Amino acid sequence: MPGSVLAVDIGGTKFAAALVDPDGDVQAARRVATPPGGDAHTLWKTLDALVSAVVGDTPVAGVGIGCGGPMTWPDGAVSPLNMPGWRAFPLRERLAARFPGVPVRIHNDAVCVAAAEHWRGAGQGSANMLGMVVSTGVGGGLILGGRLIDGGTGNAGHIGHVVVDPDGPACGCGGRGCLEAVARGPGLAAWAVEQGWVPGRAADPGGAYAEATAATGRQLALDAAAGDGIALAAMRRAGRAVGLAIASAAHLCDLDVVTIGGGLSQAGPLLFEPLEEALRAHVRLEFARRVRVVPAALGQDAGLVGAAALILAADRYWSPGS
């Protein structure tokens, strides 16, 4: 379709690419596993092949990229935490050389998800939105006054490092008590194991669960759904932490809506009910009580849609240096 853009979504577990038409519809999406332990060249070759397969001979109007942080922005030299093969890798430059003559833009992957939910997902029609991803990490992006907020270095939206428990667990960032330290899947699973959680026992009581089942956030959500008491407590712990962080964000930014995606959001009411309980206990001023928390709508395509929005809806989602 004329005017389509190439969207790329770079994560620690998979690379995704697709053409996205001007309406935000994803076409010809392809995914490959991120080469484990790949060096810079291997990673690039993998991406290059993926992109070639998606684009073929189609001319593209631009390239939008979402990638795990940190990165320099808007230059786009990336150092994704969980991809040691790329350190200050000039990802945006490489793709710009590969697609000369069109705009090539990059943003944090969670920021892209937020832009997508605002443009085409659960945040449509709101001018003041926080888009969250609660998964292996906890990330987000912020839309205020109808526009994506970048902050001084493109890092606005880091809801995962809002402090929810000042003396809480150590965080990967070097701080303590960040939302991410409490609510990220692996952190939550580790906490549950400490409390005596046996992964898989509740979800498969007659099965050969012992030692065979990994203690992951996903398993924790399954076990909570199956009624495991510790897993349920873990979901309450996560929900409460997310609710507290949203309360702080709602006061600071006067939000209309918060969208929540990512693996842990699959737990549904097991996460959202304690979330709402904590949130409502802490937002009492009329303006803050307006905030609605809703599940994200776009699923695994969100990162691609948001990357495309950097090109296709640049008036709202692209304003570096403003």
Q: Residues with Cβ < 8 Å from 132, sequence gap 6 or more?
A: 110, 114, 138, 139, 140, 159, 242, 258, 259, 260, 261, 262
Q: Does 74 participate in binding a second copy (rule CB under 8 A)?
A: no
161 binds a second copy (CB under 8 A): yes
- Token pair for residue 223? 């076990």
Closest distance to a second copy from the beta carbon of 318 (Å): 12
Q: Look up residue 65 and give its two tokens.
A: 């990229």
Q: For a second copy, which residue of 40, 248, 295, 297 counts as binding (CB under 8 A)?
A: 248
Residue closer to a second copy by CB (options 159, 234) is 159
- Pick the piece of the chain touching a second copy (CB under 8 A) from 28-36, 38-46, 226-234, 281-289: 281-289
Cis peptide before 169 (omega within 30 of 0): no
Smaller CB distance to a second copy: residue 247 or 308?
Answer: 247
Question: For a second copy, which is the closer residue by CB, 98 or 147?
Answer: 147
Indicate whether 146 belongs to the interface with a second copy (CB under 8 A).
yes
Cα(106)–Cα(183) distance, integer angstroms: 27
Helix (H, G, I), strand (E, B) or coil at 114: helix
Binding mask 163-202 vs a second copy (x if CB under 8 A, - otherwise)? xxxx----x-xxxxxx------------------------
Q: To 10 degrees, what angle do helices 269-282 and 217-225 make?
A: 90
How many residues in the shown chain lie near a second copy by CB under 8 A?
57
- Which DSSP string do the residues of 214-241 spell out, in sequence order? ---HHHHHHHHHTT-HHHHHHHHHHHHH
Candidates 22-30, 95-103, 120-128, 188-196 — which segment interacts with a second copy by CB under 8 A?
A: 120-128
Q: Is 255 among the residues that bind a second copy (CB under 8 A)? A: yes
- Residue of 9, 109, 117, 150 interacting with a second copy (CB under 8 A): 150
Rg (CA), the chain: 20
According to DSSP, residue 183 is labeled: H
- Report the alpha-carbon distance of residue 232 to residue 273 in Å, rounded: 11
Smallest distance from a second copy to CB 220, Å: 22
The residues binding a second copy (CB under 8 A) are 70, 126-128, 142, 144-147, 149-166, 171, 173-178, 244-245, 247-249, 251-256, 278, 281-288, 290, 319, 322
